[in-house]
Structure 1
């Protein structure tokens, strides 16, 4: 399946690699300089550095343990015997992306929220789709498939692995969010490669909800977003992991 990687994804990932190397280099250099001053000076500082590094790693690990526990403990896994049509469509998307180890797919009920996510834990990928979206499979299968293809796109592009190994670059303001937004654009394009025009409806669904999304006039929505694109809106975007939905729609329209 052919798709175009968003032009900024490679650029921001290159910056993340660069800053990761820089951060690690200065950290190692600082420890070496402290060591040269003697054990009395180096010991406590190195201990503090190691403590915080381990604390951050354990915090991230613990958060993932809770998430995977919630996913496996409460979620409904989509299999060949549980929602077989959706499972077959999911399998075909994964095969189309040449993903050899297809991630387990779960449905989660989250109080009517519209979301889906990919997570990696202990060397294995998992994908979850919220029930409010999956409940549309019979009436609008292409929209649900767009969401599933988008999440599989994160697996295909190794976004979760790349973010883990470039974690030190998160110290650079706004870089992590910018990289995340470019990844979202790429995954939208992957979803569109499978679902075509229905992909835009999938994004409108996230903006308006499943009860009224079909009534939203796309062009009016985009024009209104342009009018509302004030300095405050642009500034807020710097902190966000996902692009504004009108920007995501415009990107797909320009493909």
Structure 2
């Protein structure tokens, strides 16, 4: 069972607010015939776009199976089982033109995790723990039903700043869950650094200096870029994991590997 202390406060409170806001919008639309048409048209359009994207991924991506990258498949199966997922999501690796990213999605009752190829290449450099953190982060989105919940609160997600704030809360939650389940604070932090600078140079980054210098960057546009983003800044996410590393008891989680010294 998921430890409730791993769920970020902003996710819990903002989801309730987003849900209430969305219900008001839905009721307002339903009382008019035109509003009902808008809702139906929006659902159909969203399903079509989502279906087209998943069709491309399934047709071109490489699916991780017991025969295709079996070692990583068994790692994913273990993490999913430990996190209490009833069924392992379909995992695809997709060519990414150098981009480092991963995402979870759901379509027609099936959960998917997509790893961009440049990120997946970490299995060749011996950095599987860092990749496991990123995978567990995406599994956490599925565990928390974030994708299904987003369908319920679509009006709030489109509302300026509100949906983005909720999304950032979800990202903090998934970082916490992923760090807890892989039980390795340094690997979790390094996984985030990889997203910042890439899989080749990340080992040379002074993490403390990275977080410190980022905290000095202030101003209107720095603030604005933060509140219009679905993801918190990477240095902020790193500092949150460092705090979890220092005070795991506050999150109801302890392990010797998680409490190992954080590399800088």
Q: SS at 2:133's partner residue?
A: helix
**Alignment match, 1:6:** 8
Per-residue Cα deviation, 1:67-102 (whole angstroms, up to 9, x for no partner): 111111011111111111100110011001100111
**Alignment match, 1:86:** 72
Q: Which structure's CA Rg is the greater one? A: 1
TM-score of the two chains, using structure 2 as the length reference: 0.86
* Larger CA deviation: 140-149 vs 223-232: 223-232
**Alignment match, 1:150:** 137
Alpha-carbon deviation of 1:58? Answer: 2.1
Instruction: For 1:113 and 1:186, locate their aligned partners in 2 and report how far apart those are by CA, in whole Å.
Output: 24
**Alignment match, 1:172:** 159
**Alignment match, 1:228:** 217
Structure 1 residue runs of 4+, over 3 Å off?
Answer: none
| 2:228 aligned with 1:239 | yes
Aligned pair partner of 1:126 in 95, 101, 112: 112
Alpha-carbon deviation of 1:51? Answer: 3.3
Q: SS at 2:111's partner residue?
A: strand
| 2:88 aligned with 1:102 | yes
Contact 2:185 2:242 in 1 (8 A): no
Aligned pair partner of 2:23 in 16, 21, 24: 21
* Larger CA deviation: 65-74 vs 154-163: 65-74
Q: SS at 1:200's partner residue?
A: helix
TM-score of the two chains, using structure 1 as the length reference: 0.89
Alpha-carbon deviation of 1:52? Answer: 2.4
Instruction: For 1:208 and 1:147, locate their aligned partners in 2 and report how far apart those are by CA, in whole Å.
Output: 15
**Alignment match, 2:189:** 200
Q: SS at 1:137's partner residue?
A: helix
Q: SS at 1:242's partner residue?
A: coil
Q: SS at 1:135's partner residue?
A: helix
Instruction: For 1:245 and 1:128, locate their aligned partners in 2 and report how far apart those are by CA, in whole Å.
Output: 20
Q: SS at 2:6's partner residue?
A: coil
Instruction: For 2:159 and 2:114, locate their aligned partners in 1 and report how far apart those are by CA, in whole Å.
Output: 30
Per-residue Cα deviation, 1:167-201 (whole angstroms, up to 9, x for no partner): 23235321111111111111111221113321100
**Alignment match, 1:140:** 127
**Alignment match, 1:65:** 51
Q: SS at 1:136's partner residue?
A: helix
Per-residue Cα deviation, 1:34-93 (whole angstroms, up to 9, x for no partner): xxxxxxxxxxxx2x3333223322221121112111111011111111111100110011
**Alignment match, 2:63:** 77
Matched pairs, number = 239
Instruction: For 1:176 and 1:87, locate their aligned partners in 2 and report how far apart those are by CA, in whole Å.
Output: 34
Alpha-carbon deviation of 1:230? Answer: 2.1
Gaps in structure 1 of 5+ consecutive residues = 32-45
Query: What root-mean-square deviation, in Å, do the aligned CA atoms of Structure 1 and Structure 2 show?
Result: 1.5
